[in-house]
Each structure stands twice: as structure tokens, then as C-alpha cells.
């Protein structure tokens, strides 16, 4: 499904292209993806996709809920990542194209059965995209469950504001409205600490180039070969949490969310032969993902905000990307 600004794929309910213009220029695609229709091939699992049931890692692929121990399907060593080997990013979603006078819209839906990937409860998920060319893209995810279950859904769009001719996002300038971040162990699971960004490479309270952070010798950067960390954005409710800009193209994108966490990932493991759009090989740090979500591994850290949803409750995650030109 496509229009002049956006292209979707029902596999993973993913965004495969988002095109913007600047002044009188032609449309430029600013999201990463495979060269052709290869989104279901190995190595492209999360590009532009919706992630669930639980984004990020769960330690030892298990959790306890209401006195019951649940053993999950591990797909990241002994841990589970992004919902398991057959998570939401690997499903064919149903979709409908919608429209109104203000924006163009699409709605995806998915039913995840009881004990899907060993998670309890039947979950009904709806993902509603709306957009206005050159101005904004919004995603609202809602879900209900038949049994108490963890839910932590997000999107995994890789952005490069420079477009396909820009090889990395190292020269992009980033600002994150957060005083704290979550350091990780060598297995990329949170330590449980909420650490001040002050005097660390993760201090983006004032705008800095991403390359400045990636060049740091800080052990946290070395562990993940870049950035793959969750920030705890300041404030509550729907608010601006980050600003990304590309000085070369003049494009600017602000990120808004109502979530407690902002996982930022700088595509640290690209460069293994993935051929991207325009048949160009992608290299390390070719894009950046802003995964708006709850804290990763919250099930094993009781002091983290809860991600448990119970029958009768509505799970909701709203994210908006706003585009301007500098």
C-alpha cells in the first residue's frame, strides 16, 4: 500500500518508505529498508516493523505474574528479544486504508492468541497510522487482553534524514529531553539503575552530533558498539522527547510520545551484507531508531514502571514524528 508520502507492508505492519520534500525539491525517502520486496528475508526482521508483545529483552526468557511462572521462547541467547522468534514483526497484519479531510490514515489489526510465544491471554491489537506529507507521521497502538499479560509495543523505523545518499547518521545532531538513562550489562539487559546522563556520552540535553557519542570510549558505548539504550524522558503525558536534525539536508524531526521510555538504537549491527534501497549496501550506523516504549526488562525490575495489562484495561502507545526544515 502506498501514496506519495508513505508505503506500508502488511508483513509486520511496517513502514517501508516515508518520503518528504524540502521547498521545491523532489520527494526523498528518509527511512531504511531492503532493496526490493525482501522485508521477510533474514536480516530485515525489525526494519520499520511493529514490535510485540514485549519490546526489548526479557532476562532468561521468563517472568512471574500473579504467582505463575511463564517460560517464553528464547531467541537471543537465553533471553527473549522483541516478542520472540515469531513476534508481531513476523506476522501478516490485516489492514484498511482510511482518510479524512485532515490526513491520510491506515489501520492495522492483529489477534495474538493465548500462550502465543508462551505469553498469557488473547490480545487484540490495533495500530492506527496517520500522516500529512512533509509535516508529521503519527502512530497510535491500542490493545486489550483476556488475561493479565505484559504488553510493551513499539515501532522500529530506522531514520536517516539525509536520505539514501547519506551513508550514516554520525553527522546528525541529536537532542534528548532526559536527565536519566538505563545502563546495560554485557548481555544488553538493563542493570536496573537509572543513571544521570551528566558527565556521560548519553548527555544530549543540549544538541550534539551522534558521532561525538559514538566516538566515546565509555564502556557503555563499547558494550553495544554504539547506542542501544533506553532514556527516561522528562515529564509525563504526551510530550516532545527528542529532536533529530541533519545539517546537510536541513531536515529536522521531533519525536513526541506518551511513553515512559525512549530506546535509541543506532543500527550497530548493519554492515553484514544487507543491500538497502537503491541497491546500496548499508553500513554500521546507517540509521537511527526511536523506540517509544516502556522500560526494557521491566518484568524483572519491580521499581520500573509496570507493563502489565489486565482484562478491562486499554493499552495505549501514541507516537508522533514532526518534520520541519531548518
Catalytic residue among 82, 285, 291, 301: 291
**Active-site residue flag, 291:** yes
How far apart, in whole angstroms, are the C-alpha atoms of residue 76 and residue 218? 24
Handedness of CA 62, 77, 231, 311 (dihedral sign): negative
* Exposure class string for 140-179: b at 16+ Cβ within 10 A, else e: bbebbbebebbbbbbbbbbbbbbbbebbbbbebbbbbbbb
Bridge partner list, 318: 140
Distant-in-sequence, close-in-space partners of 36: CB < 8 Å, separation ≥ 6: none
N residues, the chain: 326
The dihedrals phi and psi of 214, each to the nearest 5 degrees, come to -65, -25
State the Cα–Cα distance between residues 10 and 208, nearest whole angstrom: 36
Closest C-alpha to 280, from 25, 29, 9: 29
Given the residues 82, 156, 172, 285, the one annotated as active site: 156
Alpha-carbon separation of residue 214 from 5, 186, 209, 258, 307 (angstroms): 31, 17, 9, 27, 30
Helix ranges, 105-246 (H): 210-214, 219-224
* Closest alpha carbon to 75 in 46, 47, 49: 46
Reply yes or no on whether 167 is catalytic: no
Contacts of 245 (CB under 8 A, 6+ apart): 161, 172, 173, 207, 251, 252, 253, 326
**Catalytic center residues:** 156, 291
Amino acid at each position: 500500500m502506498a501514496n506519495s508520502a508513505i508505503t506500508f507492508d502488511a508483513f509486520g505492519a511496517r513502514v517501508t518508505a516515508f518520503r518528504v520534500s524540502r521547498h521545491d525539491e523532489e520527494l526523498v525517502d528518509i527511512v531504511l529498508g531492503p532493496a526490493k520486496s525482501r522485508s521477510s528475508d533474514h536480516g530485515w526482521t525489525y526494519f520499520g516493523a511493529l514490535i510485540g508483545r514485549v519490546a526489548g529483552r526479557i532476562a532468561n526468557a521468563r517472568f512471574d505474574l500473579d504467582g505463575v511462572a511463564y517460560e517464553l521462547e528464547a531467541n537471543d541467547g537465553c533471553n527473549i528479544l522483541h516478542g520472540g522468534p515469531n513476534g508481531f514483526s513476523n506476522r501478516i497484519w490485516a489492514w484498511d486504508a482510511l482518510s479524512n479531510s485532515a490526513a491520510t490514515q491506515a489501520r492495522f489489526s492483529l489477534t495474538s492468541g493465548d500462550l502465543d510465544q508462551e505469553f498469557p491471554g488473547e490480545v487484540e491489537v490495533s495500530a492506527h497510522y496517520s500522516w500529512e506529507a512533509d509535516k508529521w507521521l503519527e502512530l497510535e497502538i491500542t490493545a486489550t487482553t483476556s488475561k493479565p499479560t505484559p504488553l510493551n509495543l513499539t515501532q522500529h523505523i530506522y531514520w536517516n534524514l539525509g536520505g539514501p545518499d547519506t551513508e550514516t547518521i554520525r553527522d546528525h545532531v541529536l537532542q534528548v529531553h532526559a536527565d536519566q538513562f538505563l545502563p546495560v550489562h554485557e548481555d544488553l539487559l538493563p542493570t536496573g539503575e537509572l543513571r544521570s546522563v551528566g558527565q556521560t556520552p548519553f548527555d544530549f540535553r543540549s544538541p550534539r552530533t551522534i558521532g561525538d557519542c559514538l566516538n566515546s570510549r565509555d564502556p557503555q558505548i563499547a558494550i553495544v558498539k554504539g547506542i542501544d539504550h533506553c532514556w527516561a524522558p522528562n515529564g509525563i503525558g504526551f510530550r516532545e522527547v527528542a529532536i533529530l536534525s541533519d545539517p546537510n539536508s536541513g531536515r529536522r524531526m521531533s519525536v513526541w510520545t506518551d511513553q515512559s521510555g525512549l530506546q535509541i538504537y543506532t543500527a550497530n549491527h548493519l554492515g553484514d551484507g544487507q543491500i538497502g534501497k537503491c541497491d546500496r549496501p548499508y553500513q554500521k550506523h546507517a540509521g537511527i531508531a526511536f523506540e517509544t516504549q516502556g522500560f526494557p526488562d521491566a518484568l524483572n525490575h519491580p521499581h520500573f514502571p509496570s507493563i502489565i495489562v489486565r482484562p478491562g484495561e486499554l493499552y495505549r502507545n501514541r507516537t508522533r514524528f514532526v518534520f520541519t526544515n531548518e
